[in-house]
């Protein structure tokens, strides 16, 4: 127990002192996760609305596949993207492997189904009479889109936050596509795995405490948005 408490004390000291290496790793994680979430949201929010409101052949199959992708392991996503952007892959000439851009690509693919599915569910909860009234009053496509965004705003924001929570704590994509390169692609999760194996227990705990704090904030926001939607 003394070993554990000693590691925790040293970890807290690293955080309080704003250890440069800790700050750099946290910044890399936050930066990559934020960009990934923004890009996935730009695609996923309109996609979720479209899936909810547009009927097409094979929609049931599409929904089934979408729901299956919600629990897709990160290493599977990492493997799939790795096969595309590796030097012998079809996108190898873009030189995305072991770069921040490669991680972002993998993370976007990882959370896109989550955002699409949660936005779809949020749109489904809107009273159909609101949308039908807008159509009867001659609302344009853009106006109807804005109406849906407004009515489902809490659910949509919750979807974005949930996506962010998924990527900030993932390790498979970051490790396989980023290579855990110091000062380039080393994230909180990959650094925890590496530093713990190296025997830097306190450093791993420091990053773990920070990740736990971020997860708490993310879950608090999701809870707040869900309760706000009901109110």
pTM here? 0.93
CA end-to-end distance (rounded Å), the chain: 46
Q: What is the pLDDT of residue 229?
A: 57
Alpha helices in the chain (DSSP H): 2-16, 20-53, 59-69, 74-85, 100-124, 128-136, 141-151, 153-168, 172-173, 188-197, 201-230
Of all residues in the chain, what percent carry a pLDDT higher than 70? 97
Q: What is the pLDDT of residue 226?
A: 75
Please state, as a whole number, how many other Cβ atoms lie within 10 Å of the Cβ of residue 43.
Answer: 13
Q: What is the pLDDT of residue 228?
A: 63
Q: What is the pLDDT of residue 71?
A: 87
Burial class, 141, CB count within 10 angstroms (exposed 0-12 / middle 13-18 / buried 19+) = exposed
Cα distances (Å, whole numbers) of residue 206 to 91, 171, 201: 37, 17, 9
Q: What is the pLDDT of residue 222?
A: 86
Q: What is the pLDDT of residue 131?
A: 86
157 and 59 Cβ atoms separated by less than 8 Å: no
- Above 80 in pLDDT, residue 203? yes
Superfamily designation of domain 2-230 = MetI-like (1.10.3720.10)
195 and 204 Cβ atoms separated by less than 8 Å: yes
Measured distance CA(48)–CA(159) in Å, rounded: 10
- Above 60 in pLDDT, residue 40? yes
Q: Could you read off the pLDDT of 101-116 as tens digits, one per residue?
A: 999 999 999 999 999 9
Burial class, 89, CB count within 10 angstroms (exposed 0-12 / middle 13-18 / buried 19+) = middle
| Mean pLDDT value across residues 14-18 | 94
Please state, as a whole number, how many other Cβ atoms lie within 10 Å of the Cβ of residue 183.
Answer: 9
| Mean pLDDT value across residues 149-167 | 94
| Mean pLDDT value across residues 50-68 | 90
Measured distance CA(156)–CA(175) in Å, rounded: 29
Q: What is the pLDDT of residue 45?
A: 97
Q: What are the extents of the domains in the chain?
A: 2-230
The CA-CA-CA angle for residues 4, 9, 13, to 5°, reads 145
Using N-to-C axis directions, what is the helix angle for 59-69 and 20-53, rounded to 10°? Answer: 160
């Amino acid at each position: 127990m003394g070993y554990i408490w000693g590691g925790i004390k040293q970890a807290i000291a690293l955080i309080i002192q704003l250890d440069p290496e800790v700050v750099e790793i946290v910044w890399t994680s936050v930066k990559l996760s934020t960009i990934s979430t923004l890009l996935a949201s730009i695609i996923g929010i309109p996609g979720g609305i479209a899936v909810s409101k547009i009927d097409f052949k094979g929609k049931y199959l599409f929904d089934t596949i979408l729901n299956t992708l919600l629990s897709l392991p990160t290493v599977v996503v990492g493997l799939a993207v790795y096969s595309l952007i590796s030097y012998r892959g079809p996108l190898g000439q873009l030189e995305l492997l072991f770069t921040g851009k490669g991680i972002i690509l993998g993370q976007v693919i990882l959370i896109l189904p989550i955002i699409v599915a949660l936005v779809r569910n949020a749109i489904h909860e809107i009273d159909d009479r609101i949308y039908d009234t807008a159509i009867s009053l001659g609302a344009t496509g853009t106006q109807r889109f804005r109406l849906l965004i407004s009515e489902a705003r809490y659910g949509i924001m919750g979807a974005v936050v949930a996506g962010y929570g998924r990527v900030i704590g993932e390790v498979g994509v970051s490790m396989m596509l980023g290579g855990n390169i110091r000062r380039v692609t080393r994230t909180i999760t990959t650094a925890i795995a590496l530093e713990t194996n190296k025997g830097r227990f306190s450093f791993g705990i420091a990053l773990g405490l920070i990740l736990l704090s971020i997860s708490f904030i993310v879950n608090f926001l999701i809870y707040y948005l869900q309760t706000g939607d009901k109110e």
